[in-house]
Chain A
Amino acid sequence: MLISHSSGLVFKIKKHFTSLLLFASFAAPVYADGDTIAASGQMCAQGICNNIFITFPPKGGSIIGTLSGEGNKDGCSFQNNGTLNGTFAGGDGGAVNGSVSWTMTASCGGNSISETWSGTWEGAFYADGTGKGSGVVKSASGNWTVSFSADEFQRITTPITKEYFKTTYGIDVVDGTSQWTDREMRLLDDLFKKLPKSYWDKTKFTRIERNNVSIDSQTKMKNPSVFGDYAYWNRTIRVYDKANSPFDFKDDPNGDKQFIGTIVHEMTHAYHFYKDYKSVYESDVENDNSQIMNAFRENSRDDPNDFRTGWAWKPTAQKWVFKGVGEENKPVSDYAKDVDPHEDLCESVMFYVVDPASLAAKSPNRYQFIKDSIFNGVEYPWDY
């Protein structure tokens, strides 16, 4: 807590509470929200400390946060509430400076007083997950310390490049008619890190390409409705601009979930084309008869022993039809239901990773199948 001697009331409080320590121990929150991370700690002066909670971008930018503290002693109580803000230069050891302001309300006996104080703080954040520095409010000086997730700090400050993906994952991340942005590559990296080995090892795609719009291979016309696709013959995922448009998921204002979901969907196409450790299915029909597709179709039937209660090709309409009616067995999206079993599987895995609550509610059978048969028990938070 930064505190001033210049007020008589403050001086009295200082005298009474010089050894007061508020919330002696604080655990650093460990979460990331895009490119910003959270930190917590204390601002102390003359043995009196306030709690501070801030968020900041490890690559540099604005810091915002709150300050609070309260205490009682000898019939007097006080409460501090305020804000602090500033700028972080970014990176390991980057400089921090900014301003702090709070309102102190003190009560002694029947008297109380409120006063607002302002000052400055400065110091640095470090890649080891710590930050420290000093501050001055009016003429009083003090110190501050915070802690945060070193892993998150390093994750965000480490440059994500196409070479990084090649080196780390063996995947060619390629610009096509559109370019990968830093945000998209960060989302891609975050996704890859979440995926279990049981799934990742069977995806077998080698290239992920960013294009602005799908081109119909027959008509050569643009199809702006397409989010992404997977070509098994060259093991390439193509992601289109449309993938950034919110569509399938709630609370997705920036389209981050949609972008991730699209990639999971296409990766699952790569997954179901996996044949063995050295090869993939070279034919869609051969793939239809693969262990994973047979197991998925069987699992999605109302009666596992009767294919007529699940997916079936209707030759007179030249269309796949889903005939299941079980409440525990609904395809998770209209798209999953309207097209074919491959898309049903890919949509289901997309929701399993990005919006598992929706999948679990609409199709517990599919949720359990993916958990047990594809993700080796790994589950994800209800909200990505």
Chain B
Amino acid sequence: MTSIYNKLPMLFVLIVLILLTSCTKPPIGEIPVSTTQPPIDPQIDNTSTTAPEELVEEIFTCLPGVIPGKTTRAEITQLMGEPATTELAEDGTEFLYYKSAVEEVPDFIQIRQDVAEVVSALNRDAQVNLASITEKFGEPEQITYSYFSQGAYTYLYPQKGFALIGEPEGGQVYWLECFISMTLEDYLAGLGSSLPSENPYIR
């Protein structure tokens, strides 16, 4: 007579196999950064368990490993070390500045209640360009002018949790800003409140 205990090893293997085949989504940090993936429907699927900021993570990261709304200050310093400079606002918001390839454009993290709220940095991936962004996320909710450089514009995807500064004729993306997704109105009233309404460049 065969005891059920004799079948346990086989059952264990079966359960493991079932689990492996059903697990189609690897951890976010392991998803390769690529612009060669097939286009994603720009309309966010409400049934998906993937948060909008994680969709952003699938195509680019403002700063690798730092996810607005998720990553804590301790995790940030563990990942990136101590910031070069910090500032503390009256409301308790903390601003962390890290050195970047261009000293005057530091990597930036805004911390509220011990969690990253806003992350911005120069685009460090040449594969991330306006064409790949549009392919992945569709047209921006709004395009505004930018103070970054002559010919640059700010492309707003607030509901998808990011904005970027790019240059349409050359197609390059210069600077990225990631944040907890919000409405366009909220973005323009807050993070984007200083964006120029007219082209600041006259030559």
A-to-B contact residues, CB < 8 Å: 216-218, 223, 225-233, 262, 265-266, 269, 282-285, 288-289, 297, 307-308, 310-313, 315-320, 335, 338-343, 346
Contact = CB atoms under 8 A, between A and B. Distances in A.
Contacts of A232: 170
Given A315-B120, A318-B147, A318-B192, 6 more contacts: A284-B174, A288-B102, A307-B104, A318-B148, A320-B147, A342-B150
Contacts of A223: 199
Contact of A335 (B101, B126, B202): B202
B154 interface: yes
A315 B120 CA distance: 7
B149 interface: yes
Interface of B: 85, 95, 101-106, 108, 110, 120, 122-123, 126, 143, 146-154, 165, 167-170, 172, 174-175, 177, 191-192, 194-195, 199-203
Specify which of B151, B152, B172, B202 lies most central, judged by the most chain A CB atoms within 10 Å of its CB.
Answer: B202
A339 B152 contact: no
A229 B151 CA distance: 9
A216 B145 CA distance: 10
A340 B149 contact: yes
B93 to A, nearest CB: 10
A343 B201 CA distance: 9
A50 B30 CA distance: 94
Contact of A315 (B85, B168, B177): B177
Given A233-B169, A289-B101, A339 B110 contact: no
17 contacts: A229-B201, A230-B150, A262-B203, A266-B203, A269-B150, A289-B102, A315-B106, A315-B177, A316-B108, A316-B191, A318-B147, A318-B195, A320-B104, A335-B202, A339-B200, A339-B201, A343-B201
B170 A311 contact: no
Nearest to A247: B202
Contacts of B123: 285
Nearest to A266: B203
A8 B108 CA distance: 96
A341 B120 contact: no
A340 B203 CA distance: 12
Nearest to B154: A318
A58 to B, nearest CB: 33
B104 A313 contact: yes
B148 A340 contact: yes
Given A315-B108, A320-B147, A228 B102 contact: no
B98 to A, nearest CB: 11
B164 to A, nearest CB: 11
Given A226-B203, A319-B194, A284 B102 contact: no
A218 B170 contact: no
A262 to B, nearest CB: 6
B203 A227 contact: yes
A44 B17 CA distance: 116
A228 B203 CA distance: 5
A226 B165 contact: no
Contacts of A288: 102, 104-105
A23 B34 CA distance: 83
A230 B149 CA distance: 11
A229 B201 CA distance: 9
B171 to A, nearest CB: 9
Contacts of A265: 203
Contacts of A225: 199, 202
Contacts of A311: 104
A169 to B, nearest CB: 22
B149 A313 contact: no
Contact of A284 (B147, B167, B177): B167
A218 B105 contact: no
Contacts of B202: 225-227, 335
Contacts of B195: 318
Contact of A340 (B110, B147, B191): B147
Contacts of A317: 194
A261 B174 CA distance: 28
A284 B174 CA distance: 7
B150 A229 contact: yes
Specify which of B149, B153, B192 lies most central, judged by the most chain A CB atoms within 10 Å of its CB.
Answer: B149
Contacts of A313: 104-106, 148
B170 A233 contact: yes
